[in-house]
Amino acid sequence: MHASPGDNLIVQNDSAISSPTASAEAREPFVPGALVIATLCNPREKFWGMILALAAEGLSLSGAELASFEDLAVMVRDGEPFTPAVVFFPMHRIERVELDLADGSLPSLSQRFFAKTGLEPSVALTPGNQGNDSHDSGSHASKERA
């Protein structure tokens, strides 16, 4: 039996038809809250952070330059106050965006951050969350009011 040129040889998977939400999630890994590494050009730099928004105009992230990742982890571990940078990169500067995933036996940056600080990166990088200040937020707030 031979297929004629007009025959549709591609058959959709029933699970994709019955669950469009699951299919959309599988196709959209770069959603708000995803931890990523953005490689930028002009000037060339890398930025680790959590996606706040991704649009045709550009990418909004909350995070830090990759060059200062270790310093950030030490600050958080030592209980120093920090505020993640909230930045917008126009699309013409974005060379590449990749999910922050482990590579074989190498842990992801998120896993390294958690191992060094004991704090989930998504909590630390949420704007306005004050990262590690949750340890002493009551006493810190009362000092500011005084």
Taking only the tens place, the pLDDT of each residue in 50-93 is 999 999 999 999 999 999 999 999 999 999 988 899 999 999 99
Neighbours of 8 (CB within 10 A): 7
Question: Helical H runs in 1-126?
Answer: 14-18, 20-27, 69-77, 109-117, 121-124
Q: What are phi and psi of 40, to 5 degrees?
A: -115, 160
Domain 29-133 falls under CATH 3.40.50.2300:
no
Report CA dihedral (114, 69, 103, 45) to the nearest 10 degrees: 150
What 98-104 contacts at long range (C-beta under 8 Å, 24+ apart), as own/partner pairs, is 98/36, 98/37, 98/39, 99/29, 99/30, 99/34, 99/35, 99/36, 100/35, 100/36, 100/37, 100/48
Whether pTM exceeds 0.75: no
User: What's the pLDDT tens digit per position in 36-51?
Assistant: 999 999 999 999 999 9
